[in-house]
């Protein structure tokens, strides 16, 4: 029984089909890589899975229930967390605040407790902060000490780590990583691969879908690879099999030719 | 139910008001289309246009060109140039420097700039707190048709308003600058890569939008025979409402929105007891309901937010 | 600790001197001292760090000192009922500003109907006490709820649409409110509602001058102390909300709605909460104003006041709780002190806001990072 399953997932904008009839399944604890040229629908797939773009037709089943058409915050609360291609952190807020934002939804402390029941609200917050420190420390031992700095002051790679921490802070069962290596040097990408390993060790049973351009990252982390082009799934299987697939080769080589 | 003649009469009046509102609304919608900003001082730019026109008329009278069509043409020319340039200055001062900040910052900055413009007219224009009589320069009199009285004055105002709209439409659809404006509205980055000078295009947009507001300002002076420094607030809110009902970013939508708002006001005045006092209440209430039901506006396209 | 109290005492003396100095020479002297007091920590880093460290280390002492100063102010101003009134007005602007700042600063909801919501509070008090004979204190407690209810009914659907529509609709609402108040008969039309009964506490009417520690204070001192309590409570509540999960959620949705939604934050719920809590305190400010001055009329709540409230926030510091206090304490008394500026008041506010947004968008007292203490 897979954790996530889409059936005939289709997303349209003004008649333009961004995602056509895509079937994707992710098992528990599995890491799936998604590849495809620019504009092939990879990020659209994530946006559909997280509820930002409601599907035109098709269904998304997550943990046995249909989530197609649910608003993003409801889907997030069911256990789907994500990062964004161009990171979406609140640069004015502190590192801790950004990580804590991932835990907001799960908290039950209400307005009255925040105002009147100070001790409880404070204890709750301290526990959350401890968890944020722990998560940040997994990725970079220096990060917890910089927790009160504004995120805007961190280097790019640490921002990406903070964003992953925010996603993990929600305690998800499915984590969607949208091109974690975007805008990073090869050395940083290598560091990031180590981080992804940490993510999976930290939470056994966590399923991950990762979109990547960098084939080394894909090869290194994913157990199964899905290739998209023009919004359709063109190949699925092991990394070696997908890369050797003629349609995948054509999609990428065709692009190379167009570029040249 | 009021008699049909009264309704027709109010429809005509609504059309008159609507033309003025449409001219203001086009500015809002152009600015939003090109820069994705709401230029909240635009209403006060409209008020400035009216005062620029009045000042030009006074100067023309002092120079011996009192009354008549020539004075009016001079007033329009002067107000269009002066107000257009002030609009560009407003953009350079309050919009461009905040391009990278959150859109709310631009909103607050232009809102405060409007306050500055308003208070400056109040304080520095001679006896600025009082309503200023605006000379009646248009042919008086009129005729009656089917129980509806049509005044020559109103026909001229309608004609000038329509001419201004057609002129802007031609500029936007037929000229190079118009093509640049449309390109930037579509996608500023792509337009720049195609060789469009972004700064110049934005300047041109603000000049055109503010010039239209100036035309609206003088028309409003001619219509009501008086102008007041406070007119910019209501003018701005109504113009923005009209642009919003039409669909922000769509020029034709703004024109439709302006006419709709004018008709709403006059029909409310005709159909509701004590309607003349509550006409704005009714009109704004309808706008609110409309924005809730259809936030994209009548002609607005569905926008997909990029993630 | 001594340093903290000395600093606070110095500020207190300067403020009182600045308010009361009449002769040009005294005024000049105060102005020079005030300028020096601002310039020294601003230019000498060592003084600044010493002061920050002292205030950081002795927060409780600083709060206690501030409380003493706030309580002592009416005694220092006892010769001037007018300035006691202005000080109370500044407190009301703090209350209103905290409410509005939760909306504008924390949640990014541009509510430009601050004047109208304060007006709803004020008119509710007027109507309940004068027309239906409710006791004033009960009316003052109910009025903010009316402001919240009206705001919820009218604006919740709009909160779901794009940000600038809220700005548009709230401006329109201020005008609608004014037109209605001017034209309804039961609100007294342009004359408004007069003779709103004053508050009483244990039989002490707020219009009689209180005698405390053998000193007779102006009657407005009653309201000063009452408003001080309300303002402090408001500030504490807003601060606790700001440093809670709610504040964090609001900040997140203000900065990035998409990220917030993907974190499981309900945008609609967050915005509604911020809008309601904010309107409560804005309405409370308006209600207290009504019982303090004893009448309400449409011009007391026109669009200009919305802009004054906005200035308090932007000049003080967007999303900054101490910033609102500073902003209100500067913006309310300054034009009263310099009467010749009164005519130019709104013009100056406008110029200052534009300059602030361009050159110091975080305000005079920028919001600090949340430390959850």
Q: Which of C280, C180, C153, C181 is nearest to B288 (CA)?
A: C153
Reported confidence tier of residue B301, pLDDT bands at 50, 70, 90: low
- The three-state secondary structure class of B144 is strand
B111: chain C residues, CB-CB within 8 Å: 112, 167, 307, 310
The answer, yes or no, to whether residue B211 has pLDDT greater than 60, is yes
Which one is predicted more confidently, A73 or A195?
A73
pLDDT tens digits, B230-242: 899 889 999 999 9
Least CB-CB distance to C264: which of A89, A105, A109?
A105
Tens digit of pLDDT for each residue in B254-282? 999 999 999 988 888 888 877 777 888 88
Confidence band of C199 (pLDDT split at 50, 70, 90): confident
Q: Which residue in C240, C264, C372 is closest to A170 by CB distance? A: C264
- Using CB atoms, which residue from B97, B274, B284 is nearest to C172? B284
Give all chains having 3 or more CB-to-CB distances under 8 Å with chain B. Answer: A, C
pLDDT digits (tens, 9 = 90+) for C126-151: 999 988 888 889 999 999 999 999 99
Q: Which of B84-88, C31-35, C336-340 has the lowest mean pLDDT?
A: C336-340
Between C46 and B167, where is the model more confident? B167
For A173-183, write each residue's pLDDT tens digit. 999 999 988 87
Cβ separation C241–A101 shorter than 8 A: no
pLDDT value at residue B302: 54
Which member of C249, C258, C263 has the closest CB to residue A52?
C258
Neighbours of A240 (CB within 10 A): 10
The answer to whether residue C249 neighbours chain A at the CB level (below 8 Å) is yes
Q: What percent of chain C has pLDDT over 90?
A: 42
Cβ of A179: how many Cβ atoms within 10 Å? 22
E strands, chain B, in order:
132-133, 142-145, 148-151, 226-227
Contacting residues of B for C157, CB less than 8 Å apart:
292
In this predicted structure, what is the pLDDT of residue C277?
95
What average pLDDT is seen over chain A?
A: 87
- The pLDDT, as a whole number, for residue B214 is 95
Say if A117 is an interface residue toward chain B (CB within 8 Å).
no
Best to test chain B binding among C354, C360, C361, C362 (most B CBs inside 10 Å): C354
Which tokens hold the place of B69?
């069509």
Residue A82 main-chain phi, psi, to 5 deg: -150, 165
Residue of chain B nearest C352, judged by CA positions: B112
Q: Residue B304: which pLDDT band, with cuts at 50, 70 and 90?
A: low
Chain-chain contact of A109 with C240 (C-beta, under 8 angstroms):
no
Residue in chain B closest to C302 (alpha carbons) equals B233
pLDDT category of residue B83 using cuts at 50, 70 and 90: very high
> Do B84 and B164 meet the contact criterion of CB atoms below 8 Å apart?
no
On chain A, the residues whose CB falls within 8 A of the CB of C249 are 101, 104
Nearest CA in chain A to C267: A73
CA–CA distance, A57 with A12 (Å, rounded to integer): 9
CB contact (8 A) between residue C108 and residue B104: yes
Closest CA to B167 of B208, B134, B126, B196: B208
Nearest to B115 among C154, C307, C343 (CB): C307
Q: Per-residue pLDDT tens for B151-181?
A: 888 888 999 999 999 999 999 888 888 889 8
DSSP secondary-structure letter at A70? -
Nearest-neighbour CA in chain C from B169: distance (Å): 26
Residues whose CB falls within 8 Å of the CB of residue C32, separated by 6 or more in sequence, listed in order: none
- Cα distances (Å, whole numbers) of residue A1 to A9, A39, A63, A79, A117: 19, 31, 9, 17, 44
> Residue B266: CB partners within 8 Å, gap ≥ 6?
B10, B11, B13, B14, B17, B279
Average pLDDT of every residue of chain C: 87
pLDDT number for residue A260: 41
Q: Where are the alpha helices (DSSP H) in chain C?
A: 2-20, 24-43, 45-57, 59-76, 81-101, 114-126, 136-159, 163-183, 220-242, 245-255, 257-262, 267-293, 303-316, 321-331, 333-337, 345-359
Given a contact cutoff of 8 angstroms between Cβ atoms, the answer to whether C87 and C77 are in contact is yes
A-contacting residues in C 56-75 (Cβ below 8 Å)? none
* Residues with Cβ within 8 Å of residue B275, at least 6 apart in sequence: B268, B269, B282
Instruction: Answer with the residue of higher pLDDT: B67 or C215.
Output: C215
User: B82 near B52, Cβ under 8 Å?
Assistant: yes
- The pTM of the full predicted model, rounded to 2 decimals, is 0.91
Report yes or no: A53 at the B interface, CB cutoff 8 Å: yes
Q: How many CB atoms lie within 10 A of CB C243?
A: 19
Least CB–CB distance from C350: residue in B98, B112, B288:
B112
Do A52 and B307 make contact, defined as CB atoms within 8 angstroms?
A: yes
Q: Which of C257, C267, C264 is nearest to A76 (CA)?
A: C264
Residue from the list A71, A93, A114 with its beta carbon closest to the beta carbon of C244: A114
Q: How confident is the model at residue B303 (pLDDT cuts 50, 70, 90)?
A: low
Rg of the Cα trace of chain A?
Answer: 19
Q: What pLDDT shows up at residue A259? A: 45
CA neighbours closer than 13 Å in the CB half-sphere of residue C298: 17
Average pLDDT of chain B is 87
Percent of residues, chain B, with pLDDT higher than 90: 41
C369–A71: do the CB atoms touch at under 8 Å? no
* pLDDT value, residue C81: 85
Residue B105 sits at the chain C interface (C-beta within 8 Å): yes
How much helix, strand and coil, in percent to the nearest 5, is found in chain B? 75, 5, 20
Taking CA atoms, C53 is separated from A248, C59, C60, C251, in Å, by 62, 10, 13, 28
Task: State the complex-level ipTM.
Answer: 0.90
Q: How far apart are CA C311 and CA B112, in angstroms?
A: 9
Chains in contact with C, where contact requires at least 3 CB pairs less than 8 Å apart:
A, B
DSSP at A252: H
Other residues' Cβ atoms within 10 Å of the Cβ of residue A241: 13
Nearest CA in chain A to C237: A115
Kindly state the tokens that stand for A110: 């209400």
Chain A residues with CB-CB distance to C371 below 8 A: 148
Stretch among B97-101, C231-235, C237-241 having the lowest mean pLDDT: B97-101
**Is A53 in Cβ contact with B304 (below 8 Å)?**
yes
Helices (H), B225-293: 231-246, 251-271, 275-293
Q: What is the pLDDT of residue A73?
A: 94
Taking the alpha carbons at both ends of chain A, their separation in whole angstroms is 45
Contacting chains of A (3 CB pairs or more, <8 Å) are B, C
Q: Report the pLDDT averaged over residues B236-254.
A: 90
pLDDT in tens, C212-227: 787 777 888 889 999 9
Which has more pLDDT, C19 or B66?
Answer: C19
Q: Is C303 on the interface with B (CB under 8 A)?
A: yes
**Rounded to an integer, what distance in angstroms lies between the CA atom of residue A176 and that of residue A209?**
5
Backbone angles phi, psi at A25, to 5 degrees: -130, 140
Per-residue pLDDT band for B1 (boundaries 50, 70, 90) equals: low
Q: Read off the pLDDT of each residue in B91-105 and give the average, rounded to a whole number.
A: 85
- Across A30-39, A106-115, A177-186, C249-258, least confident range: A106-115
Q: Quote the pLDDT of residue C47.
A: 77
The residue-averaged pLDDT of B64-87 equals 87
- Best C242, C260, C263 residue to mutate vs chain A (most A CBs within 10 Å): C263
Res. C177 pLDDT band, cuts 50 70 90: very high
pLDDT at A182: 81
pLDDT above 90 for C283: yes
Least confident residue range of A188-197, B111-120, B258-267: A188-197
Model confidence at A255, in pLDDT bands (50, 70, 90)?
low
Which tokens is C152 given? 């919820």
Residues of chain C neighbouring A88 (CB-CB closer than 8 A)? 256, 258-259
A90 band by pLDDT with thresholds 50, 70 and 90:
very high
Among the ranges given (A66-80, B91-105, C241-255), the one the predictor scored with the smallest mean pLDDT: B91-105
Could you read off the pLDDT of A114-133 as tens digits, one per residue? Answer: 787 778 888 888 999 999 99
């Amino acid at each position: 029984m897979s954790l996530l399953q889409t059936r005939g997932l289709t997303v349209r904008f003004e008649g333009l089909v961004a995602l056509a009839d895509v079937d994707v399944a992710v098992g528990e604890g599995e890491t799936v890589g998604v590849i495809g040229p620019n504009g092939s629908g990879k990020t659209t797939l994530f946006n559909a899975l997280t509820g930002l773009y409601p599907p035109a037709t098709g269904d998304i089943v997550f943990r046995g229930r249909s989530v197609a058409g649910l608003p993003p915050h409801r889907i997030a609360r069911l256990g789907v967390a994500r990062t964004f291609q161009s990171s979406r952190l609140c640069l004015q807020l502190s590192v801790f605040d950004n990580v804590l934002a991932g835990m907001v939804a799960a908290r039950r402390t209400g307005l009255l407790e925040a105002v009147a029941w100070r001790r409880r609200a404070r204890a709750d917050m301290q526990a959350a902060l401890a968890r944020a420190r722990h998560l940040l420390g997994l990725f970079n031992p220096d990060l917890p000490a910089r927790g009160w700095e504004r995120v805007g002051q961190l280097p790019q790679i640490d921002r990406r780590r903070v964003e992953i921490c925010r996603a993990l802070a929600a305690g998800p069962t499915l984590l969607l990583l949208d091109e974690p290596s975007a805008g990073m040097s090869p050395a940083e990408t290598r560091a990031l691969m180590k981080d992804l390993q940490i993510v999976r060790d930290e939470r056994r049973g966590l399923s991950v879908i990762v979109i990547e351009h960098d084939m080394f990252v894909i090869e290194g982390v994913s157990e199964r690879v899905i290739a998209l082009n023009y919004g359709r799934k063109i190949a699925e299987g092991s990394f070696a099999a997908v890369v050797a697939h003629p349609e995948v080769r054509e999609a990428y080589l065709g692009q190379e030719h167009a570029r040249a | 139910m009021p008699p049909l003649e009264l309704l027709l009469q109010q429809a005509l009046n609504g059309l008159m008001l609507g033309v003025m509102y449409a001219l203001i609304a086009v500015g809002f919608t152009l600015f939003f289309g090109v820069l994705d900003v709401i230029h909240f001082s635009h209403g006060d730019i409209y008020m400035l246009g009216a005062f620029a026109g009045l000042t030009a008329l006074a100067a023309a009278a002092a120079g011996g060109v009192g009354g008549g069509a020539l004075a009016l043409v001079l007033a329009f020319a002067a107000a269009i140039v002066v107000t257009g340039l002030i609009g560009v200055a407003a953009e350079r001062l309050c919009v461009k420097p905040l391009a990278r900040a959150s859109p709310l910052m631009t909103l607050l900055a232009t809102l405060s700039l409007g306050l500055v413009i308003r208070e400056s007219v109040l304080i520095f224009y001679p006896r600025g707190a009082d309503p200023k009589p605006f000379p009646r320069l248009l042919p008086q009199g009129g005729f009656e048709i089917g129980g509806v009285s049509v005044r020559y004055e109103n026909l001229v105002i309608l004609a000038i308003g329509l001419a201004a709209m057609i002129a802007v439409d031609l500029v936007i659809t037929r000229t190079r600058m118009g093509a640049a404006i449309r390109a930037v509205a579509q996608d500023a980055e792509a337009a720049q890569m195609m060789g469009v000078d972004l700064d110049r295009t934005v300047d041109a947009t603000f000049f055109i939008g503010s010039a239209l507001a100036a035309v609206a300002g003088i028309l409003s002076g001619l219509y009501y025979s008086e102008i007041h420094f406070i007119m910019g607030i209501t003018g701005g809110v109504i113009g923005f409402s009209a642009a919003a009902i039409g669909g922000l970013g769509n020029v034709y939508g703004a024109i439709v929105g302006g006419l709709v708002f004018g008709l709403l006001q006059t029909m409310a005045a005709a159909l509701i007891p004590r309607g003349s006092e509550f006409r704005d209440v009714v009109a704004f209430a309808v706008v609110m309901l409309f924005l809730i039901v259809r936030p994209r506006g009548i002609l607005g396209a569905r926008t997909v937010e990029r993630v | 600790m001594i340093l903290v109290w000395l600093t606070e005492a110095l500020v207190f003396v300067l403020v009182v001197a600045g308010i009361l100095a009449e002769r040009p020479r005294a005024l000049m002297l105060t102005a020079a001292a005030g300028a020096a007091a601002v310039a020294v920590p601003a230019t000498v880093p060592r003084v600044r760090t010493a002061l920050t460290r002292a205030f950081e280390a002795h927060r409780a002492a600083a709060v206690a000192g501030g409380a003493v100063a706030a309580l002592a102010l009416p005694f220092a101003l006892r010769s001037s009922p007018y300035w006691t009134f202005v000080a109370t007005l500044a407190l009301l602007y703090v209350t209103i500003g905290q409410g509005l700042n939760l909306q504008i600063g924390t949640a990014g909801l541009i509510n430009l109907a601050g004047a109208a919501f304060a007006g709803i509070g004020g008119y509710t008090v007027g109507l309940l006490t004068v027309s239906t004979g409710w006791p004033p204190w009960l009316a003052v407690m109910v009025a903010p709820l009316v402001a919240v209810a009206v705001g919820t009914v009218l604006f919740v659907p709009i909160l779901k649409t794009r940000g600038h529509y809220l700005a548009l609709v709230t401006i329109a609402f201020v005008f609608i409110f004014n037109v209605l108040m001017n034209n309804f008969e039961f609100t007294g039309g342009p004359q408004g509602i007069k003779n709103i009964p004053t508050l009483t506490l244990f039989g002490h009417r707020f219009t009689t001058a209180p005698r405390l520690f053998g000193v007779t204070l102006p009657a407005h001192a009653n309201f000063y102390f009452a408003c001080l309590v309300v303002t402090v409570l408001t500030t504490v509540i807003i601060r606790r909300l700001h440093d809670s999960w709610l504040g964090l959620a609001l900040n997140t949705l203000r900065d990035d709605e998409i990220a917030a939604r993907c974190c499981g934050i309900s945008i609609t719920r967050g915005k509604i909460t911020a809008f309601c809590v904010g309107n409560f305190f804005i309405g409370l400010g308006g209600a207290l104003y009504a019982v303090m001055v004893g009448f309400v009329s449409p011009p007391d709540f026109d669009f200009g006041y919305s802009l004054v409230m906005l200035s308090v926030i932007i000049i003080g510091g967007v999303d900054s709780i101490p910033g609102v206090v500073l902003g209100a304490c500067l913006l309310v008394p300054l034009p009263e002190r310099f009467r010749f500026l009164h005519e130019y008041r709104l013009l100056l506010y406008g110029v200052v806001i534009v300059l602030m947004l361009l050159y110091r968008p975080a305000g005079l007292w920028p919001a600090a990072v949340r430390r959850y203490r």
